[in-house]
Chain A
Amino acid sequence: MARGFAIRPMPGFTFIAILCFFMLYLPVSILVIYAFNGAQSIAVWGGFSLRWFRTAMVDTDVRDAALRSFEIAAVAAFVATTCATMAAIATTRTTPYRGLTFKYAFINQPLMVPEIVTAVALLIVFSRIKVWTGYSGLGYLMAAHTAFCIPFAYLPIRARLENMDLTLESAAADLYATPWKTFQRITLPLLWPGVIAGFMLAFVISLDDVVITEFVKSGGQDTLPTYMLGQLRRSFTPAMNAISTVFLVISVVIVTIFFFISRKKD
């Protein structure tokens, strides 16, 4: 009897787990299916059609918002990854020094404050600066996005640095390489997957942001998520499902690539 006794399973756990996975994917799947609905309303199924993708694509508001989203995400992710890489190098492989814990806390701070609070804070400060300087371009959104992207870029880069083999760097130093040369030829090539992973996370996080963007944006600066939020308040058509589907595909592709990059290190 003891032989047939499995110690791992718990009664009902597998059922709940499968149910959870099912429930996680069901609503999103329905959303995607209805993006291909030929009917005018979302209530009835009118056969397979791509008309809502066409409707969304020819809508200049959607196109502008999408382009703006990508522009902001690209700039924010690039700057955040660069800063995060430098900061990660500055905070790893060192004996603890005064200010190290402070740096950790500082860099991870955007993760710890509720988004709505940061959004309100930025609204207050940026609206003042907008009045003072007269500048109301995309710079504010880019700065805000960069700030909250830094911790997301920082985490995978730091993890990679900490798991890295130190002997190669020591070898380079033994062969009279300058610290810069060592970084360029040894550290950076080894760090690269972490940097790419960090960039991707930052990009997705920026692309997905609703709350901070909603509060910081000036008139006519809708990104795709804030455009959708505005539409949800009025009426919604299957075009929303089409936009969401494209958005989902982009996120899933980026996350899948990220998954395979970060898995390789084992």
Chain B
Amino acid sequence: MSRASDVAETAHRRDIRNRWLLSAPALVIIFFAAIGPLFVVLLYSFMVKGDYGDVKYWQFSTEGWFGVLFQRDIFDDTVTLADANIQIFLRSVRLSLMTTLATLVFGFPTAYFIATRPQRTREIWLFLITIPFWTNLLIRTYAIMEVIRNEGVVNSILLKTGIIQEPVQILFTDFSIMLGMVYVYLPLMVLPLYASMEKLDFRLVEAGYDLYATRFQVLRRIIIPLVKPGIIAGSILVFIPALGAYVTPRVLGGGKNLMLGNFIELQFGQGRNWPLGSALSITLMLIVMAALLVYVRSTSSSGASHG
């Protein structure tokens, strides 16, 4: 009797050991080329900056973290808030939030449209949303650049029709960064929204109309609450990459309008302040983790309320 359970126990242990062995290559690669280096970044954020980039090894300092929000005057050491840094933080958050909102405004009707198509055509619409998602982000950003350049399509049309006499400067503004991000991240909003709308029970919508609800009331009181997990998922999926965006602001912002991603790069390039760059990276990661936590909380609580 006890022998039988021993045998079962050993088999179970062996099974678990085999499972660890099987997953080992994936875990090792991710550890060395993704997770492990993040700890090195944390360590670097607490070191003294080197004179020509890099850091002075094992000389610790909190100067990197200090530099995230504050600056010290070179002559009299007075401490002030680093306005430039705060500007970049605020611009990044503002642009990311506006991008998220814009993708939601355009993505919601699009996802609803796809979810209400008949089964066969629905797949085609979904496919049309998926294709841009898998095509190169740089190429899509470049495509937007072509359209809004001073010699681009938009300006050419406006000039030819005589609406404007001088080309409008759209490229290299905050607006062009936002436009680019909306364009690039729209599929990330539509796909999760669609996933939750697909499961929408239209009998509830019908019941709403039977009780004399207007279309707007049905949308606000029935559809939106039911697809809320999709709205949250989509918003998080857009907000996170938008906040850490590097390529889109670099190409469409023209080097003047920085976002957090470019500011971090600057510290590792011309800025030669690796500890500050590391501290900024950790800050960005913490914001993202906080957003993910909000997301996990909201999905688990909504799951519980549905029983």
B-binding residues in A (CB < 8 A): 5, 7-14, 16-21, 23-28, 30-31, 34, 41-43, 79-80, 82-84, 86-87, 89-91, 94, 97, 99, 103, 106-107, 109-110, 112-125, 127, 143-144, 146-148, 150, 154, 201, 204, 207-208, 210-211, 215, 225, 228-229, 232, 240-241, 244, 247-248, 251-252, 254-255, 259, 263
Check A5 against B209 for contact (C-beta < 8 Å).
yes
Closest CB of chain A to B183's CB: distance in Å?
7
Check A7 against B209 for contact (C-beta < 8 Å).
yes
Contacts of B132 in A (CB 8 A): 24-25, 28
Cα distance A213–B37 when bound, in Å? 15
Check A97 against B19 for contact (C-beta < 8 Å).
yes
Nearest B residue to A114 by beta-carbon distance? B244
The CB with the most chain A CB atoms within 10 A, among B27, B34, B116, is that of: B34
Q: List 20 A-B contacts (CB under 8 A).
A: A10-B219, A17-B113, A21-B125, A30-B147, A31-B139, A34-B146, A43-B151, A91-B23, A99-B20, A103-B27, A118-B34, A120-B264, A147-B32, A148-B34, A208-B134, A211-B246, A229-B247, A247-B136, A248-B139, A255-B135
Check B144 against A112 for contact (C-beta < 8 Å).
no
CB of B278 closer than 8 Å to a CB of A: yes
Contacts of A83 in B (CB 8 A): 25-26, 29
Closest CB of chain A to B273's CB: distance in Å?
12
Query: Assuming A10-B215, A210-B247, is B241 touching A114 (CB within 8 A)?
Result: yes
Dominant secondary structure at the A interface: helix
Closest CB of chain A to B225's CB: distance in Å?
15
Cα distance A143–B25 when bound, in Å? 12
Query: B101-128 interface mask toward A, CB cutoff 8 Å, 1 = contact, 0 = none?
Result: 0000011011011101000000101011
Check A125 against B36 for contact (C-beta < 8 Å).
yes
- Select one of A10, A12, A28, A112 contacting B140, CB under 8 A: A28
Check A13 against B142 for contact (C-beta < 8 Å).
no
Contacts of A8 in B (CB 8 A): 116, 202, 205
Check B109 against A17 for contact (C-beta < 8 Å).
yes
Cα distance A124–B38 when bound, in Å? 10
Check B246 against A115 for contact (C-beta < 8 Å).
yes
Interface-side segment among B60-68, B78-86, B227-235, B280-288:
B280-288
Closest CB of chain A to B168's CB: distance in Å?
16
Check A90 against B23 for contact (C-beta < 8 Å).
yes
Check B135 against A251 for contact (C-beta < 8 Å).
yes
- Select one of A30, A31, A86, A228 contacting B26, CB under 8 A: A86
Cα distance A215–B261 when bound, in Å? 12
CB of B170 closer than 8 Å to a CB of A: no
Cα distance A165–B57 when bound, in Å? 56
Closest CB of chain B to A28's CB: distance in Å?
5
Dominant secondary structure at the B interface: helix
Query: Assuming A30-B153, A103-B23, A110-B34, is B244 touching A117 (CB within 8 A)?
Result: yes
Nearest A residue to B267 by beta-carbon distance? A120
Cα distance A99–B186 when bound, in Å? 35
Cα distance A113–B131 when bound, in Å? 24
Closest CB of chain B to A196's CB: distance in Å?
15
Which 10 A-B pairs rank lowest in CB-CB distance, beginning with the nearest? A114-B244, A17-B113, A121-B37, A147-B33, A27-B143, A90-B22, A13-B109, A16-B109, A83-B26, A87-B26
Contacts of A82 in B (CB 8 A): 25
Contacts of B206 in A (CB 8 A): 7
Contacts of A225 in B (CB 8 A): 136, 138
Besides A17-B114, A86-B26, A122-B37, 10 more A-B contacts (Cβ < 8 Å) are: A13-B113, A28-B132, A79-B29, A86-B23, A87-B26, A90-B18, A114-B244, A124-B278, A143-B29, A247-B139
Nearest A residue to B106 by beta-carbon distance? A20
